[in-house]
Amino acid sequence: MTDAHTHNLAAGPDAVINIEPDTQLPSEGSFSTGVHPWRSAEAATLWPLVETIASDPSIVAIGECGIDRLRGADMETQTELLRRHAILAENLAKPLIIHCVRAWAELLAVHASVRPSVPWIVHGFRGAPALARQLLDAGMHISLGEHFRPDTAAIIPPGRLHVETDTSSLPIREIAARVSAARHTKL
């Protein structure tokens, strides 16, 4: 069982650990890097760093990146930044890890215009089944963490469902068990 997204540097070897682009890449492990929407105002500094380290073999995914209506730069800047991450992910054939807050139409629009071949994993998804269905119908993957809706967990196909600790102090085993219980099946 893999932890699809965590900020815990001490996470196990099966975790994808998110690294800020302006910090040192640890020598061992699997990582993701990108400009977090909350730091989108610093994109001029951070984006070149992402481009530089993204091709490192230990970077297994691009992100987290995305759009957050409540924090960070204006929506246009964030949308453009997401598009850049998406194109980088395509070029490197690495999945994209997405943070999205109240910007689902914008996310779906970028997805439709990029038409990605790599998985787009919407992380920390807390939404209702109807929204999950929209994302799944578009072809996206969904990652569930400590807080999720059981009725949403129940409708995600196994091949497109991920679990994550993100900033939770719960072990990934516990989160996976809760997701499994909600699905009445084993992950």
Q: Please give the residue whose beta carbon sits closest to Zn ion in the complex.
A: 166
With CB under 5 A as the rule, give the number of residues binding Zn ion.
1
Compare residues 127 and 155 and give the one whose CB is closer to Zn ion. Answer: 127
Binding mask of the shown chain, residues 108 to 147, with x at each position contacting Zn ion by CB under 5 A: ----------------------------------------
Q: Residue 166 interacts with Zn ion (CB under 5 A)?
A: yes
Closest CA to 124 of 1, 21, 6: 6
Which stretch, 41-49, 53-61, 131-139, 165-173, contacts Zn ion (CB under 5 A)? 165-173
Which stretch, 25-33, 113-121, 160-168, 173-181, contacts Zn ion (CB under 5 A)? 160-168
Which stretch, 50-58, 83-91, 127-135, 161-169, contacts Zn ion (CB under 5 A)? 161-169
Compare residues 16 and 88 and give the one whose CB is closer to Zn ion. Answer: 16
* Long-range contact pairs involving 156-163 (C-beta distance under 8 Å, separation at least 24): 156/132, 158/187, 160/119, 160/136, 161/187, 162/2, 162/4, 162/5, 162/121, 162/123, 163/1, 163/2, 163/3, 163/4, 163/187
CB of 184 to Zn ion, least distance (A): 28
CA 140/CA 29 separation, integer angstroms: 25
CB of 6 to Zn ion, least distance (A): 8
Which stretch, 39-47, 49-57, 75-83, 162-170, contacts Zn ion (CB under 5 A)? 162-170
In the chain, the largest separation of any two C-alpha atoms, in whole Å, equals 46
Q: Residue 106 interacts with Zn ion (CB under 5 A)?
A: no
Cα end-to-end distance, the chain, whole Å: 8
Q: Residue 68 interacts with Zn ion (CB under 5 A)?
A: no
CB of 72 to Zn ion, least distance (A): 14
Question: What is the β-pairing status of strands 161-163 and 96-101?
Answer: unpaired
Number of Cβ atoms within 10 Å of the Cβ of 170: 13
Interface ranges with Zn ion (CB under 5 A): 166
